[in-house]
Structure 1
Amino acid sequence: MSSDRFDVLDGAVPPAENTRLFGHAEAEHFLAQSYRSGKGHHAILIEGPAGIGKATLAFRFANHVLTHPEPSQAPAELATPDPTAIVSRQIASGASHNLLHLTRPLDDKTGKVKSAITVDEVRRAGKFFSQTSGTGNWRIVIVDPADDLNRNAANAILKILEEPPKRSLFLVLTHAPGKLLPTIRSRCLPLQLKPLAPDALRDALTNLGFDLSGPDAQKVLAAADGSVSEALKLINYGGLDIMTAFEAILAGHGPAIRRDMHKLADVLSAKDNETIFDFFSALVSGHIMRAARQAGVAGDIARAERFARLSATIAERLSLAQAYNLDRKQTVLSILDDIKTESLPAA
């Protein structure tokens, strides 16, 4: 797995190569102790929001297990991986015969990442386990994330989880565990990771080389909500400008706002701008749902229901636009029109 992976954000270190992890010491301790006891679960469901270090933790733990294949002889804590060690080099390059990383594949025809982890990808896990390890070491599969499994792929993973091979370990990542098949969740040991605390997020971004002394630093840290990936979108992809423009549109009135809506739609509909379009989609969805919750807490049930319906409508519109490759500018404008019509409160 090289640093030019197509799904790694600019400024980030691919999880397989990342030797630094911030903010999850308790989870690291739990995994080390569980493995060392010899009674560790064969499948661990690592839960938490996107961009907080779930994949880095999974590769870090995989490195620990493959470096110390006998649990009773393993250290009591996860050590910082040595990038010069054979195991680390094999994991980082994707050349390990004992580790399989299942994620959304690249479509050879379009050159873009597919929308789901397909059953063909999961079949790779079946072949992976059928091959005898030359070292007798563990076989580890990282599913990253399980949220992207389509139905057939999810059922195929479930079959392997139901009858796991000896010395096999599944590290199943999820941003939204409630959306997974209950049968998959029931066969995994849950390990919940929380968003990074402000100090941990600051340390993680500083480690990536970002200067957080500027005037926008606090805004980035607050808006990132404990996620390194969200912070990178804000800093490197124009997310902060998108957020500011969206807030101005919500608060504004008159003809000038229409021009601002078109400017924002032009930016979001630009070619090869998938990351920032996804950022905008999440920004809109999150803001509407917060407004719905606020209305519900205030006792305005009718208003809360309108916002909930608006959220569902926009989610459907975005899904259709992606499925049928519809004009993105028109999609963005229609979403902004709907939001203005519903008088969504400013951020």
Structure 2
Amino acid sequence: MQDPRHTFRLYGHVKAENTFRSALDTGRMHHAWLITGPSGIGKATLSFHLARILLKGEKTDSPAGRRITAGTHGDLLEISRSLDEKKGRLRQEITASDVRVVQSFLHHTATEGGWRVVIVDGAEFLNRFAANALLKILEEPPLNSILFLTTSSPGKLLPTIRSRCRTLALSPLNDQDMHDLLPDLSADLIRRAKGSPGRALFLSQDRDGHIAGFVDGILSGRRINTESMVLIDQIAREVDGFALFCDLLGEGWAEQARVAAQRGDLPISNMFANRCIALDTLRRQTEGFNLDKAQAIRQAVQLAV
């Protein structure tokens, strides 16, 4: 999949696009839109698609279209978690200094006489100071300005931010759209991705299935042996091995919690739910403080004991 700025065809989110176009055509345009949905479903891609509509850049070979693609359009600003160059990974937060750029941007006259558009990609990562700064913008939005906030976890946003946005809740892509977008991926992988193209590509990194197989063993209660210890070190060395391991294990425990709850076994359901919480905490601490991933995987395995 391409960078959202360079993705020109929209898959699966026609209903959301039509809702937005209707607001624009009827003169009932809201100043802020909260675009929600699972990770990897195409929230940022939709944001740029809607920005192209506002900025008359739908034709990719038009002057406005080319500037949007190149990141040089004077009326479009995107903020997200920046890269920590020392650690070589994304920072854990969007900070107040990032939002101050938005404040400055919106208080200048539009360079092309139309809308000014801001995309906040990953609004759940706004820290407290950044969230409060953004809230002030939402409370007193400048004329002819539109903000798109994307998030996979709307519950992590301030209620006052959510209340000042119109929500576009994206649904998973259907199988046909997934196959059209990702023709080289297997039907099984697409099924496991549950309508999320980004997740499908993430899962495809486990090319020989050894991470999924290891996780399946944990979920079925298999005990760690010497061979498992070697595999743990291998997973930890892979670029996204730790993240994929945590994602698959958390998903498995969440499913076990759901199944137990459906059959009325609340103690077992709570046990698996607590494992999910503990795993999430372990993952955030490991990635946030750049801790030993192999050790973290071993700790995760111990949660199942």
TM-score with structure 1 length normalisation?
A: 0.83
> Which runs of structure 2 are paired with 1:30-41 in the superposition (5 Å)?
30-41=19-30
**Partner residue of 1:153 out of 122, 130, 141:** 130
Matched, 1:178 2:155: yes
Report sequence identity in percent: 37
Q: List runs of 5+ in structure 1 lacking aligned partners.
A: 1-11, 69-80, 342-347
Partner of 2:213: 244
Partner Cα distance (2:5, 2:265) in 1: 48
Partner of 1:19: 8
Partner of 2:225: 258
2:191 aligned counterpart, secondary structure? helix
Matched, 1:90 2:67: yes
> Which runs of structure 2 are paired with 1:1-347 in the superposition (5 Å)?
12-67=1-56, 81-206=58-183, 210=184, 212=185, 217-236=186-205, 238=207, 240-251=209-220, 253=222, 257-270=224-237, 273=239, 275-339=240-304, 341=305
Superposed displacement of residue 249, structure 1: 4.0
* 8 A Cα contact 2:206 2:212, kept in partner: no
CA displacement 1:214-272 (0-9 Å, x = unmatched): xxx12101111111111112224548442123113433646xx423432332133216x
Partner Cα distance (1:237, 1:310) in 2: 23
Partner Cα distance (1:264, 1:197) in 2: 35
> Cα RMSD over matched residues?
1.8
AA aligned to 1:38 is G
* 8 A Cα contact 2:242 2:293, kept in partner: no
The structure-2 alpha-carbon separation of the partners of 1:338 and 1:93, relative to structure 1 and needing over 3 Å to count, comes to same
Superposed displacement of residue 130, structure 1: 2.1
AA aligned to 2:59 is D
TM-score with structure 2 length normalisation?
A: 0.94
The structure-2 alpha-carbon separation of the partners of 1:17 and 1:335, relative to structure 1 and needing over 3 Å to count, comes to same
1:269 aligned counterpart, secondary structure? helix
1:101 aligned counterpart, secondary structure? strand
AA aligned to 2:98 is E
The structure-2 alpha-carbon separation of the partners of 1:113 and 1:195, relative to structure 1 and needing over 3 Å to count, comes to same
Superposed displacement of residue 326, structure 1: 2.1
2:182 aligned counterpart, secondary structure? helix
The structure-2 alpha-carbon separation of the partners of 1:278 and 1:101, relative to structure 1 and needing over 3 Å to count, comes to same
Superposed displacement of residue 117, structure 1: 1.0
Partner Cα distance (2:157, 2:11) in 1: 27
CA displacement 1:166-220 (0-9 Å, x = unmatched): 00001111111122111010000011101111111111113xxx2x4xxxx1210
How many residues align? The count is 305
Q: List runs of 5+ in structure 2 lacking aligned partners.
A: none
Partner Cα distance (1:223, 1:88) in 2: 35
1:246 aligned counterpart, secondary structure? helix
